[in-house]
Structures are given as C-alpha cells and as structure tokens.
Amino acid sequence: MTNIRNIAIIAHVDHGKTTLADALLKQSDTFRERGLEGTTILDSNDLERERGITILSKNCAVVYGDTKINIVDTPGHADFGGEVERIMNLVDGALLLVDAKEGPMPQTRFVLKKAIEAGHRIIVVINKIDKPDARPDWVLNQTFDLFVHLGASDAQADFPVIYASAKQGKAGAEPNLASMTDVKPIFESILNEIPAPKNDASGPLQVSVANISYDNYKGKVGIGRVVRGTFKPGAVAWINREGKTSSAKISTVFSFMGLGKVEVQEAVAGDIVAFAGISDLNIGETIADPAHPEALPVIAIEKPTVKMTFGVNTSPFSGQEGEFTTSRNIKDRLEREIQNDVALQVEPGSSDSTFIVSGRGELHLAILIERMRREGYELQVSRPQVILREENSVKMEPFEEASIECPEALSGSVIENIGKRKGEILDMRMESGTTYLECVFPTRGLIGYRNQFMKDTKGQGILNTVFLEYRPMLGTIEAAPHGSLIAFETGTANSYGLQNAQERGQLFIGPGAKVYEGMVVGQNSRPEDMEVNVCKEKRLTNMRSKGEGVAEGLDTPRFMSLEESMEYLGDDELLEVTPVSLRIRKQLLKPHERKRAGQA
C-alpha cells in the first residue's frame, strides 16, 4: 500500500491517548475483533494497566479507505522521554490530546516541544468533552498560548481542532456531543493535514533503528522507518552508533497491521517496519545499501538526571525469596535493559557486587526495579541522588518544572514546604476552591517530597513535574529529617513488642512479620533514630493483677509501595527488594558500627 500516514499520539498522563488509539483501531477498516471491547488494547503490560500510564511506545496500524495509517502511542511521563525523542524520527505529524477541563499540562509540554522541534504538523484533539465541567474554549486558548510559548512556526500555530470523547468513540468539528456519531472526523483530518512521507523509493536503502524489541523465535527485532529505497530481506550494510560499517543479513521484514506484525517481502520508503536478523543491533544505528552505505544522523538522547546504586542483597534474609540473587544475574539483567532503554546508563559501583544506575527520574528507576522484582530478582537499592555536572568550574544541578493542584484550605503547608525545599513559585491562581501553583524546583528538593505532599493535601493534591534544565547549584536543602525505628534483634514481631514500639512513632509492620537486627520497622515521631524491641514477649507468671486481661489495641501499620519506600530512604538506609517483600534497613546493621560511622 503506497498511501501512508505516520502519526504519533501525544498527551499528558491520563488524558486518553491509549483510549483514543483504541477507538481508532475499533472503527477502522482493519479491526473486527469484538472480544477486546472496553479494554485499553495498547496498554499491554501489567505495570501499564495497573498504573494507567503508557511506559513503552507501541506501534499499530489501521487502514482507512485506501490509506494505511501507522499510529505510535507515546509515553506521557517525562521520565520516559528517551522513548519520545526517538518516536519523533518515525512520524510526520502528531495528534495532541488535551483534556477538556484541565487543558495542557506540564508533560504535554515536554512531548509537544519535541514534536514542534521536529517541525511536525500537529492536530489538536480536545478530549473528554463529555465531562460535566468541560471548558473547551478556555482549553483551546491555553493550547494556542502553549504553541506560541514553545516557539511553534506560524503554520504549526494555525492548527486544526477536533473535539472528542475517546471513551464513547465519538469526534466532531464542534464541541457538541449530541451531533457526533464516530471518530471519522479524526481520520479525515489525518488524511487532509498530515503530509504523506516524502521519501525517495528509488534511491539507495536507508533504514533508521528507533526501537528494539525481543522475540522468542526471531531474537532481537529492530523497529524503524524506511527513509530511502525499498527494504527487502537479504544482505545489507549495518552502520553502528560509532560509524563503523559491517555487513549483515536481514532474515525477515515485518509491516505493522492492526495490533500485530505481518511478514512482507518488501517495504517501501516512508513505511514503519520491524526486522530481524542482527543479534547485536542497537537503537540509533542505520541499515543501508551494501553498495552505498550512508549513515543517518545518530539520535541524540538527553542525559540522565537521577542515579541509584543497585547491589546484591546483603541482608540476613538474602536468597530466601528471590530466584535471581547474584551480581552476575543483576548485571546481565541491567545490560539487557540498556539495550532497550537508551535513556538509562549503568556503570560499575564501588565494589564488584554494586552498579550505579542512572535514569531520567525516580519513576523511571522505580519502574525498572518493579519489573526486575516481578521477574524474580532480589536486590538492594540506595536512596535516589541527583547527578551533578560542572560547567566552567561552576557546580550545576538539575531543575524541574512542577505543576501543583491542591485544595485552597490546605495550600498553606504546601507553600511552606516549597520554600523549605528551595522551590520558586512562578504563578499562583485560585479557581473554585482549588489552588494552582506553577513552580521551579531543584530535583534534589523533590526527592522524597511526593509522600509529604500527599500527607499535606490529605490525598487530594496533584503534583506533576518535568525536567527543565541544569542551573547553578543551590545551598543545602534542610527538608524535614526523619528518624527511624530500628529493630533491636532478629526474630518475629509480636503484638506485645509492637504495642510498646507504636508509642514512639508509626509502624511499617504488623504482628507475625519476620525482622532482623538493623531493619527499619517504623518512623520515629522525632527526627533521630531509635532502637525498639518488637520481638519482646510478655513474661508469663502465675499471678494475676487487676486489669491484666485488658487488651491494648494495635494501630494499623503503614504499608508502603515501592515508590513510597524509595522516597522514605535516608542517606544511611537501603531498600531490600524481593519478589515477595520490600524491607527498609540501615546500611550498617549493628548499632556499634552505626555509632562508629557517626563519630567518624
């Protein structure tokens, strides 16, 4: 099929990208499978469905009339920006989804900036107009302002607008839900507004490698765009990121159709393809004509901003709950990950059993840890730290743009904490009982803040951040230090010991939990660490005194997720991650070792 359009769907987290892609699939001339009605088809992995976010970009293709439309679903989180940058090289235009109530959000800004820089034509889709408090006119004005702010050309700022309810599978040129029937107006707009690929089908072959996946039967599969020529299985020149050319053989070429891939004998210039046959293929490389090997520009990837130390689990409970526990297992898994994720970096740590893993943010690293955990790996990780740079002998640190929404009555403590963490408020407005704040934070100040933010806003606040730039380093950040309750001995926690300990602060464990000396079992109400004996048993006597039988109640412990545990970590603490448990512990388990380290 020679009529092709390549588009990306870009939006902020939870504005309906994946739902819209589903509606386009279900109403195209390709998709006739009725079994998947009502599910977000593209969010295919468990983590994406649980969190309701897109982590990995995905390709699908639909046929509308006699045109094939390749659709790439992009991640909205800035932490997965490595994916977004590559996707912009695959496509010729984009659908920008904006929530009809919230308007453009910080992470819309990040992905949109990349699309504008690439010079793409953008169609604005104002989604969720079925919301009772939708305000499409206000959202349209905000979107236009954002285009201008991001330096869009006059042609890009004169964008077409479609109104939609992706959930109901309807769209139209006017914000009137009653007059809409289906999503055909979006298809028509794609055909009219997004240019067909301007690629030379008769020139020498050039194929970009924008993504890598793995197939159990075919091995490593590259995903890219045929930039020039006609792509067929057989002998090719393979040019790596360093510019070295070697010969290779492509065993299979696939074209995307619906949700799957179809094996084809040839793919024309402009199409998005997958191909197998090169076992050491990497992102950013070029497949070229053996007679005229010409490399495409290597995709530049922004550097990581946050690092953590991954290491072999050294706790007394190591090896009891995980399948892969050795440093070799962890090293192999991390090396496999950096082949797929170019925004991630892995370096050897201070010892043979530790690795410094750098990523685009806390969430980026948390998703990796969660995936490893589900695959049966057991490891320990340190507190996230920012990556500092030096420019002209000035120490620079990463800064992030934060967008905050919180109830007006609770905004006082939020503003106080912004000040403590060296945040700067750029804009503040109040609408119908909600305070909206636009701030700039050093990334250092944001580490460990989300948990505190949710407490300050009683779970009603929304905090979105996106990487801004490196700026000269600010002074020390004296955020509220926490003290931990540390287990005094190894054993099993019981109600009597926990009742005594809960008077000192909030517990993280309940009765029956196995603990070891040096494990953190709760948060002290004061800023210093305290040892508690949660295994202490009540002495049994044959005497009975008045009130002896009155049972004291135990408070419900605070069970923490992976992200919450990572945010809680102090500089002298580690998080033990196994497929079954998450345990916070001190780096030095013995009290005399901690005392000695404190005096040093």
List residues bridging with 237 in a β-sheet.
Answer: 247, 288
Mean pLDDT of the chain: 81
More confident residue, 73 or 158: 158
CA 424: distance to chain centroid?
A: 25
Q: Which helix (H) or strand (E) holds 339?
A: helix 327-340
Q: At 347, which amino acid appears?
A: E
Tell me the pTM: 0.71
- Per-residue pLDDT of 291-303, as tens digits, reads 888 888 776 666 7
- pLDDT value at position 560? 86
**DSSP structure class, residue 377:** B
93 neighbors 129 (Cβ within 8 angstroms): no
Query: d(Cα 466, Cα 184) in Å, to the nearest integer?
Result: 34
Phi, psi of 302 (to 5 degrees): -65, 150
- Per-residue pLDDT of 426-438, as tens digits, reads 988 888 788 888 8
- Per-residue pLDDT of 334-361, as tens digits, reads 988 877 676 788 999 888 889 999 988 7
- pLDDT value at position 451? 75
Q: What is the mean pLDDT of residues 123-131?
A: 87
- Per-residue pLDDT of 508-532, as tens digits, reads 998 888 999 999 999 988 888 899 9
Phi, psi of 448 (to 5 degrees): 85, 5
Q: What is the mean pLDDT of residues 1-10?
A: 79
Confidence band (pLDDT; 50, 70, 90) for 80? Answer: very low
| Complete DSSP assignment for 76-139 | -SGGGHHHHHHHTTT-SEEEEEEETTTBS-HHHHHHHHHHHHTT-EEEEEEE-TTSTT--HHHH
Where do the H-state alpha helices sit in 353-442?
362-374, 411-420
417 neighbors 463 (Cβ within 8 angstroms): no
114 neighbors 50 (Cβ within 8 angstroms): no
Query: Is 206 a residue whose pLDDT tops 90?
Result: no
Query: d(Cα 454, Cα 438) in Å, to the nearest integer?
Result: 17
Angle 270-272-273 from CA coordinates, rounded to 5°: 125
- pLDDT value at position 585? 93
Confidence band (pLDDT; 50, 70, 90) for 87? Answer: confident
- Per-residue pLDDT of 446-486, as tens digits, reads 887 877 788 888 888 888 777 778 899 887 877 667 889 99
Nearest alpha-carbon partner for 41 in 54, 307, 51: 54
Query: d(Cα 308, Cα 571) in Å, to the nearest integer?
Result: 11
Q: Are strands 252-257 and 260-264 parallel, antiparallel or unpaired?
A: antiparallel
Nearest alpha-carbon partner for 309 in 588, 587, 43: 587
Confidence band (pLDDT; 50, 70, 90) for 443? Answer: confident
Tokens representing residue 191 in the block: 């055909």
- pLDDT value at position 407? 87
Query: Is 547 a residue whose pLDDT tops 60?
Result: no
Query: Is 131 a residue whose pLDDT tops 90?
Result: no
Determine which of 237-251, 531-545, 569-583 has the lowest per-residue pLDDT on average: 531-545
Query: Is 2 a residue whose pLDDT tops 70?
Result: no
Handedness of CA 84, 89, 95, 96 (dihedral sign): positive
Query: d(Cα 511, Cα 557) in Å, to the nearest integer?
Result: 10
Confidence band (pLDDT; 50, 70, 90) for 213? Answer: confident
Angle 248-254-258 from CA coordinates, rounded to 5°: 160
What lies within 8 Å, CB to CB, of 373 at 6+ separation is: 562, 577, 578, 579
Phi, psi of 548 (to 5 degrees): -65, -35
More confident residue, 201 or 70: 70
Domains detected in the chain = 4-193 (3.40.50.300), 206-288 (2.40.30.10), 306-386 (3.30.70.870), 389-472 (3.30.70.240), 483-573+585-599 (2.40.50.250)
Strands (E), 209-295: 211-215, 219-228, 234-239, 245-250, 252-257, 260-264, 272-276, 286-288
Determine which of 38-52, 277-291, 545-559 has the lowest per-residue pLDDT on average: 38-52
Q: What is the mean pLDDT of residues 494-504?
A: 88
Query: Is 50 a residue whose pLDDT tops 70?
Result: no
- Per-residue pLDDT of 103-115, as tens digits, reads 887 667 767 887 8
Query: Is 13 a residue whose pLDDT tops 70?
Result: no
What lies within 8 Å, CB to CB, of 198 at 6+ separation is: 270
Q: What is the mean pLDDT of residues 363-383?
A: 89
More confident residue, 306 or 553: 306
More confident residue, 298 or 537: 537
Query: Is 259 a residue whose pLDDT tops 60?
Result: yes
Tokens representing residue 433 in the block: 């009982």
Q: What is the mean pLDDT of residues 319-342?
A: 85
Query: d(Cα 575, Cα 389) in Å, to the nearest integer?
Result: 27
- With a pLDDT cut of 90, the percent of the chain lying above it is 10
What lies within 8 Å, CB to CB, of 203 at 6+ separation is: 228, 229, 269
